Amino acid sequence: MTIQQEQQPPRTAEGGRTGGCSARALLQAMRPAQWTKNGFVFPALVFGHKLSDLTAVLESAAAFGVFCLLSSSVYLINDVADAEKDRQHPTKRTRPIACGRLSCGAAVAAAVVLAAFSVGVSFLLAPMFAGMAIIYLVLNLAYSFGLKHVVIVDVLCISMFFVLRAAAGAAAIHVEISHWLLICTVLIALFIALSKRRHELVLLSDNASNHRGSLGEYSPYLLDQMIAVVTASTLMAYVLYTVDDRTIGEFHSDHLVYTVPFVLFGIFRYLYLVHQKGEGGNPDRIVVSDKQFLINMVLWAVVVGLVIYLH
């Protein structure tokens, strides 16, 4: 063996080198494809009648950026903590940290820098926004190091991440968010989280509990029952929001109810992709890759915009 060979880091079973650090591997580990979840900071901008306010638009964009960096810092820490288990997962084993293309030390260092920078920027926007950003970070860390293994609590935590994004988006532009929108956010997030758990359970089968303790407490039947409850509740909450007197008074229109068919199709389409196509493990990919779902979402946004801003 030559000296040059001795200096090369060992390879993992997947062929990647351990102990490495490259910009490409770091960016992949930050999971930019999942930044779409942080789009939940924008509803306050739209429903708060601030879309024509350039300052509010810029503040919302900054809030989006802060949550992208915060979520990426959590992804890095989570992947470091789960590196061994991810190597046993059929898809997660290709992640940069699990396959050895990014060292744990480099990932932790990057996570600390991203978290510190994003929290610092959050205080420049608004103290309330900064508080929610910090709560989001702390709750995510608690989830990564324990709560994700507790049945039911794990999916409730995921829903709280989305609620914090929505509430923080409102705090960043100093508007009050509707309690109906918060309720809808909770239910939609639960719907997504439960669908993801079902996908993981079916994908991993008998090995599910070894990958995550809480998966051993679920069953496809139980998750289907919970998804059914959340699905009906989500649709009902959205319908009630559209016909609520406060909503009609705020938008000076009762036409928001005409967006209900788009919500109904979106829910049914998502269920179809989860049950018939075996998807649901990556909600972000569904949003950007399924044409019917994407077109429906765009049409919903257009109609909502017309109802709110052209009355």
Residue-wise pLDDT tens digits, 1-24: 443 333 344 444 344 444 556 788
Q: What is the pLDDT of residue 253?
A: 87
- Chunked into runs of 10 residues, the chain (311 residues) has average pLDDT values of 39 46 81 87 89 92 95 90 75 78 86 94 94 94 87 91 93 88 90 86 64 72 92 93 90 91 93 79 73 92 89 65
Give CA–CA dist 214/150, Å, rounded.
5
Q: What is the pLDDT of residue 228?
A: 93
Retrieve residue 6's tokens. Answer: 């001795």
Q: What is the pLDDT of residue 26?
A: 83
Give CA–CA dist 131/90, Å, rounded.
37
Q: What is the pLDDT of residue 233?
A: 94
Give CA–CA dist 173/167, Å, rounded.
10
**What residues contact 36, with CB distance under 8 A and at least 6 apart?**
284, 287, 288
pTM score, whole prediction = 0.81
Give CA–CA dist 211/209, Å, rounded.
5
Q: What is the pLDDT of residue 88?
A: 73
How many CA atoms does the CB half-sphere of 88 hold within 13 Å? Answer: 12
Q: What is the pLDDT of residue 280?
A: 63
Give me the DSSP letters along the chain: --HHHHHSPPB-TTSPBTT---HHHHHHHT-GGGGGGGGGGSHHHHHTT-TT-HHHHHHHHHHHHHHHHHHHHHHHHHHHHTHHHHTTSTTGGGSHHHHTSS-HHHHHHHHHHHHHHHHHHHHHH-HHHHHHHHHHHHHHHHHHTTGGGSTTHHHHHHHHHHHHHHHHHHHHTT-PPPHHHHHHHHHHHHHHHHHHHHHHHHHHGGGHHHH-GGGGG--HHHHHHHHHHHHHHHHHHHHHHHH-HHHHHHHT-SGGGGGHHHHHHHHHHHHHHHHTS---S-HHHHHHH-HHHHHHHHHHHHHHHHHHH--
Contact 42, 64 (CB under 8 A): yes
Please state, in angstroms and as integers, the Cα–Cα distance from residue 231 to each residue in 4, 18, 153, 226, following that order.
59, 43, 19, 9
Contact 67, 44 (CB under 8 A): no
Contact 248, 308 (CB under 8 A): no
280: left (phi over 0), alpha (psi -120 to 50) or beta: left
